[in-house]
């Protein structure tokens, strides 16, 4: 190892520990959906997760609302495939708030629906359901493993370098999906990306004697768990006055975000009746809404409300009483500079309301599934991800239950 005042230079021979058809970086909802979709398409799949549980913000981040816009507010379900499957898996081993109308296999749209197609769920129960799914599908999984860098040959990604308990390793693949939430793979292979600032938000879970009494009276344990939301809302209101914005792409920034969030919690608890209420769960990751996303072949924006795309892979409605539907074009998952790498989840190319939708749970599951299917098609047709037969992808997504065109 050589050192200087500013740099340390090291040279190693890195062992290749495995080869796969598809490698997915990130085990959040998008990454799980991508891995399962690719595996069900006949691919060998490796899923790499830096934490020790699957689900990302939905579990580690305690964002426990599998919520709109999964339906059109008039009784028609817009989603299928992994978006629908994961909703039902989120409440398989824990409480939920899914109405009887939406629990039906085929709801009768002539009957007014009860509420929206959504549910609140238990994060730990969702974790064990995701474990079961990945294991049952035969996806190889690595926890506690940090993606470090792509291996590039001839302009293509041919492997990923990771760091784990045994040191640095390499896994080779034919196609890759960046579901890191931060576009780590895409940015490090040179794909154009956009960095974003965040307001300070901190979510925890609490309970109280009052809540427990209500839960016991109602016979519903869910009523005893109270989400505690501190700091900024999605529109920025509530961001502490004078507080910096957070980008989330440096360890120092992540550390400050977490410490400031827990400081808000500490101040909240100092004012609480400690015999009446207590915190029961803290998030185990920084709850950034967005950090970095790709510049795709298309950027989904506010101008695309009710627009029709020839390459749509599915659509979602506006939250609240739906007045518009937004189709998701396949091109938001693809960068011009990455012939065998796809984006999934909140790093898809979007701005405005399009950006907002990309980061929600159900859209993340859909883009993850589309990326997994597209990676498989690219391998089967020996083509770049930009050149896959989109009609074939659309047929697969439609058969899975997604509404392709509103």
Q: What is the pLDDT of residues 39-91, one digit of tens each?
A: 999 999 999 999 999 999 999 999 999 986 799 888 889 999 999 999 999 99
Please state, in angstroms and rounded to a whole number, the distance separating the CA atoms of residues 359 and 57.
10
**What's the chain's average pLDDT?**
94
Tens-place pLDDT, residues 192-210? 999 999 999 999 999 999 9
* pLDDT on residue 74: 83
Give, in order, the Cα–Cα distances in Å from 334 to each of 161, 195, 343, 346: 22, 17, 6, 13
pLDDT-derived band at 376, boundaries 50, 70, 90: very high
Q: What percent of the chain has pLDDT over 90?
A: 87
What are phi and psi for residue 124, nearest 5 degrees? Answer: -60, -35
Beta-bridge partners for 156 = 153
Please state, in angstroms and rounded to a whole number, the distance separating the CA atoms of residues 403 and 406.
7
What are phi and psi for residue 145, nearest 5 degrees? Answer: -130, 120
Tens-place pLDDT, residues 211-261? 999 999 999 999 999 999 999 998 899 999 999 999 999 999 999 999 999
pLDDT-derived band at 2, boundaries 50, 70, 90: low
Dig out the tokens for 16 from the structure. Answer: 């290749």
What are phi and psi for residue 219, nearest 5 degrees? Answer: 65, 35
Q: Bigger pLDDT: 278 or 235? A: 278
* pLDDT on residue 321: 66
Q: Which of 3-12, 165-174, 330-339 has the lowest mean pLDDT?
A: 3-12
- 8 A C-beta contact, residue 312 and residue 404: yes
Cα atoms in the Cβ-side hemisphere of radius 13 Å centred on 146: 7
What does pTM read for this prediction? 0.96
Please state, in angstroms and rounded to a whole number, the distance separating the CA atoms of residues 61 and 93.
19
Please state, in angstroms and rounded to a whole number, the distance separating the CA atoms of residues 264 and 266.
5
Q: Supply angle C-alpha 64, 67, 69, rounded to 5.
A: 155
Please state, in angstroms and rounded to a whole number, the distance separating the CA atoms of residues 223 and 161.
44
Which distant-in-sequence residues (6+ apart) come within 8 Å of 113 by Cβ?
71, 74, 75, 99, 101, 102, 107
Dig out the tokens for 185 from the structure. Answer: 């793979």
* pLDDT on residue 114: 82
Tens-place pLDDT, residues 289-308? 999 999 999 999 999 999 99
Q: With CA atoms as reference, report the closest residue to 162 among 179, 144, 189.
A: 144
* pLDDT on residue 110: 83
Place of tokens 């020996």: 382
* pLDDT on residue 16: 95
Dig out the tokens for 249 from the structure. Answer: 């792409």
pLDDT-derived band at 3, boundaries 50, 70, 90: low
**Max intra-chain CA distance, the chain:** 73
- Checking if the pLDDT of 352 tops 80, the result is yes
Please state, in angstroms and rounded to a whole number, the distance separating the CA atoms of residues 287 and 58.
10
- Checking if the pLDDT of 9 tops 90, the result is no
* pLDDT on residue 1: 60
Dig out the tokens for 145 from the structure. Answer: 């493993």
- 8 A C-beta contact, residue 286 and residue 201: no
Please state, in angstroms and rounded to a whole number, the distance separating the CA atoms of residues 10 and 102.
57
* pLDDT on residue 322: 62
Q: With CA atoms as reference, report the closest residue to 401 among 190, 87, 22.
A: 87
- Checking if the pLDDT of 338 tops 90, the result is yes
Q: With CA atoms as reference, report the closest residue to 134 among 368, 353, 351, 376.
A: 368
Cα atoms in the Cβ-side hemisphere of radius 13 Å centred on 357: 31
């Amino acid at each position: 190892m050589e050192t200087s005042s500013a740099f340390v230079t090291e040279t190693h021979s890195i062992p290749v520990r495995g080869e796969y058809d598809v490698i997915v970086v990130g085990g959040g909802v998008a990454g799980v959906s991508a891995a399962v979709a690719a595996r069900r398409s006949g691919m060998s799949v490796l899923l790499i997760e830096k934490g020790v549980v699957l689900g990302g913000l939905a579990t580690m981040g305690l964002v426990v609302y599998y919520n709109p816009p999964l339906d059109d507010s008039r009784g028609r379900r817009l989603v299928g495939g992994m978006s629908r499957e994961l909703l039902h898996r989120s409440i398989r081993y824990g409480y939920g708030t899914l109405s009887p109308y939406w629990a039906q296999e085929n709801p009768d749209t002539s009957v007014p629906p009860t509420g929206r197609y959504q549910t609140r769920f238990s994060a730990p129960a969702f974790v064990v359901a995701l474990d079961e799914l990945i294991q049952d599908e035969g996806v190889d999984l690595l926890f506690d493993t940090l993606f470090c860098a792509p291996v590039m040959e001839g302009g293509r990604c041919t492997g990923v370098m990771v760091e784990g308990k045994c040191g640095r390793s390499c896994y080779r693949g034919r196609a890759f999906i960046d579901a890191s939430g931060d576009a780590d793979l895409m940015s490090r292979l040179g794909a154009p990306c956009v960095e974003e600032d965040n307001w300070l938000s901190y979510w925890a879970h609490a309970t109280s004697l009052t809540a427990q009494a209500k839960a016991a009276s109602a016979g519903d344990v869910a009523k005893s768990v109270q989400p505690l939301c501190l700091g900024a809302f999605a529109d920025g209101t509530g961001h502490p006055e004078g507080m910096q914005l957070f980008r989330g792409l440096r360890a120092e920034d992540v550390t400050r975000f977490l410490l400031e969030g827990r400081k808000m919690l500490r101040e909240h608890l100092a004012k609480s009746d400690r015999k009446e209420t207590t915190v029961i769960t803290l998030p185990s990751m920084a709850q950034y809404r967005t950090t970095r996303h790709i510049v795709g072949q298309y950027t989904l924006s506010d101008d695309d409300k009710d627009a029709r795309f020839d390459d749509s892979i599915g659509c979602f409605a506006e939250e609240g009483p739906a007045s518009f539907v937004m189709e998701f074009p396949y091109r938001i998952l693809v960068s011009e500079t990455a012939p065998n790498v796809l984006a999934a989840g909140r790093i898809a190319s979007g701005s405005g309301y399009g950006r907002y939708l990309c980061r929600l749970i159900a859209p993340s599951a859909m883009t993850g599934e589309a990326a997994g299917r597209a990676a498989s098609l690219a391998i089967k047709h020996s083509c770049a991800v930009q050149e896959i037969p989109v009609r074939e992808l659309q047929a697969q997504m439609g058969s899975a239950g997604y509404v392709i065109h509103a």
